[in-house]
Amino acid sequence: MAGFDPAALPELLPVYYRRLFPHGPYGRWLSYGGVKNYFQLREFSFTLRDDVYLRFQSFGSPQELERELQKINPYKIDIGAVYSHRPNQHNTVHLGAFQPQEKELVFDIDMTDYDDVRTCCSSADICSKCWTLMTIAVRIIDRALVEDLGVRHRLWVYSGRRGVHCWVCDDHVRKWSPALRAAAVEYLSLVKGGADTVKKVSLSQPVHPFIRRSVAVVQQYFEQHALLAQDILGSPERWDKVLALLPEELREPLQAEFPRKKDSVQRWELLRARAERERERGRAGHPEWEVMLQLCFPRLDCNVSKGLGHLLKSPFSVHPKTGRISVPLDLQKLDEFDPFSVPTITSLCQELDAAGSDGEQEDGGDTEPKRRMRDYRRTSLAPFVRLLEQFVEGLESARRGERIRRSDLQGDF
């Protein structure tokens, strides 16, 4: 992967927005089949060079947005709500009348929120060892969205640096009130308490089916991630943090027996067996599940999900610090996803250069949209654009099905 130098962005971004950014499927997504004024009432926000920040931008059409992106070449694009009035005219609207009306239900999961349970990295740093936490988060939240909350259209996106975002785009969900959004986030939240809270997961009896299913997801990854990669019971300093989460009747005997075991796997097996024995004696609870969930359960930024007015970084935005593109995730290949193999704006421009003169000679008569389509297909961005296209096709197919259903109900054959 080509090295990225942020100082090169002023030269690279014009190439990216002119030849690589997927303007076509992007505009189709945010137009939602041409719902009246939906695109025109949408807020876009741009971060320019030297952290110049432009909020409440809006555009009459996807083509107008495309021209603006190619004109100002933003370092970052954020997407906001659909408002009552055009965002670029918000200063002309009577105070209080300019209000967000609709928005996708969004989730923002950031690795920095897991710093208390990572032994490999901290802050903005990530590695393959801790990235498993993002995989677990997507698995748990996505299953619950579909099976528990009944949504269909989810676009999961890598943030470009240290996290993942989800855009839930079902028609009825986009109309949800802040209260409904808060209820959904509350349902999907389990880890409670700030930095000063030691025990952040406490399960009540009987254990809710959502939690049981979440434990089943965590169990698939727990040994490899927590016991081997993070080595959570590898030293007295580490196992003390885990033992602090257990009831006293388990903690004290394990404190004495852990030094006799050779590694985290053996110590966890002992902890699990002791918890099972306590249950056989009639003591309710699953303390080992509470530990697993505290170490691995998704940590959502609740405010981003609840508020209609919150902005979230756009798919296919360039991360200005890593140069990586914010690309959609393929849930069929989620376990294979490697954030470090995501194309950077530097690598993509080099791929274009390498493809270079041959294509220009072959397709010299192509129109601009056709040439751009050909350009991105020659690069490692192609499979990610295809994921966006498939997502948009799913949205459009659902809309066609709904129109047919309604016309049948009306007897309009």
User: Active-site residues: which are they?
Assistant: 43, 108, 110
User: Could you give phi then psi for residue 286, rounded to 5 degrees?
Assistant: -130, 75
- Cα dihedral 25, 31, 35, 38 in deg (nearest 10): 170
Cβ pair 83, 39 in contact under 8 A: no
The 3 state secondary structure assigned to 268-285 is HHHHHHHHHHHHHCCCCC
Cα torsion through 253, 259, 260, 261, rounded to 10: 100
The answer to whether 119 and 130 have CB atoms below 8 angstroms apart is no
* Residues facing residue 57 across a β-bridge: 44
DSSP H stretches of helix in 223-367: 236-243, 248-257, 264-280, 287-296, 302-306, 345-362
Distances (CA, A) of 282 to 212, 246, 276: 20, 17, 10
Write out the two tokens for 132.
């498993």
Q: Please tell me the distance from the alpha carbon of residue 85 to that of residue 100, in angstroms, as a whole number.
A: 9
Contacts of 284 (CB under 8 A, 6+ apart): 205
| Length, in residues, of the chain | 413
| φ, ψ (nearest 5 deg) of residue 82 | -95, 125
Q: Of 177, 135, 136, 171, which is closest to residue 150 (Cα–Cα)? A: 171
Q: Are 294 and 191 in contact (CB under 8 A)?
A: yes
Query: In whole angstroms, what is the distance from residue 8 CA to residue 28 CA?
Result: 30
CA-nearest of 15, 60, 9, 217 to 133 is 217
**Are residues 345 and 184 in contact, defined by beta-carbon separation less than 8 angstroms?**
no
